[in-house]
């Protein structure tokens, strides 16, 4: 009995020390997952193997839940987000992924260590970060140069669903194809900064469009309608009338 008590005491001390070594922000996340997941869910997640494709399906399941609730609307949101920001992680998608990655380590009694994944993310994000910084400057320059009642032309790529799409950094280059892509002539009716992201936006009233049935971002728009043009990090090609150089 004495030996058993000693063993249990040592085990408890090791477990407590292990938990103390985990950043408190990750512990907050683990506690949250313990609350929202059933015992069956936790056991299923614990048994997922590294080469299993199941974790990819979590992005729009528990991953989306974490982003919308734990990272945005929870009492610990600010603390958790600040922790990831201190590591150089600013995108909520990566935060939720790292939470699940570390939680899986935790459930399997592995050393909770995410710095290797953080390094991978930062390295992979370098092209995006450089592009986004450049596009932020370009977007503000466009915004300052455009005035209400200016006439402009906007050329936009179109998907196989006959709707305009946009591309994100660093993949902004594309070639306009007049047979399928949309070209709109319009007049600027408003300009403002979006409330949440503070991104510069102009509102354009359509004067003419080359493909009448083509939607813009899955919405029907016709001559006389207005639509928004986001000037920061966009692949849409914009020029004011009489300007021969398209904005990139």
Report the C-alpha gap between 78 and 33 in whole angstroms. Answer: 17
pLDDT at residue 19, rounded to an integer: 53
- Find which of 20-29, 122-131, 198-207 is predicted with most confidence, using mean pLDDT: 198-207
What are 61's two structure tokens? 């399941």
Q: Are strands 215-216 and 237-240 parallel, antiparallel or unpaired?
A: unpaired
Rounded to the nearest integer, the mean pLDDT of the chain is 86
pLDDT at residue 12, rounded to an integer: 45
Q: Are strands 163-164 and 200-209 parallel, antiparallel or unpaired?
A: unpaired
Residue with the larger pLDDT of the pair 170 and 14: 170
pLDDT at residue 190, rounded to an integer: 97
Report the C-alpha gap between 213 and 15 in whole angstroms. Answer: 63
Mark out the alpha helices in 146-194 (DSSP H runs): none
What are 93's two structure tokens? 């998608």
pLDDT at residue 20, rounded to an integer: 55
- 97 by DSSP, 3-state: which? helix
Q: Is the pLDDT score of 235 beyond 60?
A: yes
pLDDT at residue 57, rounded to an integer: 53
Domain range annotation of the chain: 22-113, 146-240
Overall average pLDDT of the 89-97 stretch = 91
pTM of full prediction above 0.75: no
pLDDT tens-digit readout, 164-182: 999 988 999 999 999 999 9
Contact 170/128 with Cβ under 8 angstroms?
Answer: yes
* Max CA pair span of the chain: 91
pLDDT at residue 3, rounded to an integer: 46
Residue with the larger pLDDT of the pair 5 and 34: 34
pLDDT at residue 14, rounded to an integer: 41
Identify the band that residue 121 occupies on the pLDDT scale cut at 50, 70 and 90: very high
In this prediction, what percent of the chain has a pLDDT beyond 70? 84
Identify the band that residue 91 occupies on the pLDDT scale cut at 50, 70 and 90: confident
DSSP per-residue string spanning 9-48: HHHHHHHHHHHHHS-HHHHHHHHHHHHHS-HHHHHHHHT-
DSSP state of 233: S
């Amino acid at each position: 009995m004495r030996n058993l008590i000693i063993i249990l005491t040592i085990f408890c001390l090791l477990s407590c020390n292990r938990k103390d070594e985990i950043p408190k922000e990750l512990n907050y996340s683990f506690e949250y997952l313990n609350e929202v997941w059933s015992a069956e869910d936790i056991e299923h997640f614990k048994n997922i193997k590294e080469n299993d494709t199941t974790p990819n399906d979590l992005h729009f399941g528990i991953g989306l839940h974490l982003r919308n609730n734990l990272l945005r609307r929870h009492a610990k949101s600010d603390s958790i987000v600040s922790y990831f920001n201190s590591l150089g992680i600013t995108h909520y998608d990566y935060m939720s992924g790292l939470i699940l990655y570390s939680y899986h380590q935790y459930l399997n009694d592995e050393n909770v260590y995410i710095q290797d994944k953080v390094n991978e993310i930062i390295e992979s994000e370098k092209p995006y970060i450089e592009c986004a910084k450049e596009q932020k400057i370009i977007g503000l320059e466009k915004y300052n140069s455009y005035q209400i009642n200016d006439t402009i032309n906007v050329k936009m790529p179109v998907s196989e669903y006959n709707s305009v799409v946009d591309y994100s950094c660093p993949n902004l280059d594309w070639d306009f194809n007049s047979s399928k892509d949309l070209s709109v002539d319009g007049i600027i009716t408003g300009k403002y900064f979006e409330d949440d992201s503070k991104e510069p936006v102009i509102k354009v009233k359509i004067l003419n469009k080359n493909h009448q049935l083509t939607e813009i971002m899955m919405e029907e728009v016709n001559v006389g309608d207005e639509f928004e043009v986001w000037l920061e990090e966009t692949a849409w090609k914009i020029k004011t009338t009489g300007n021969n150089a398209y904005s990139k």
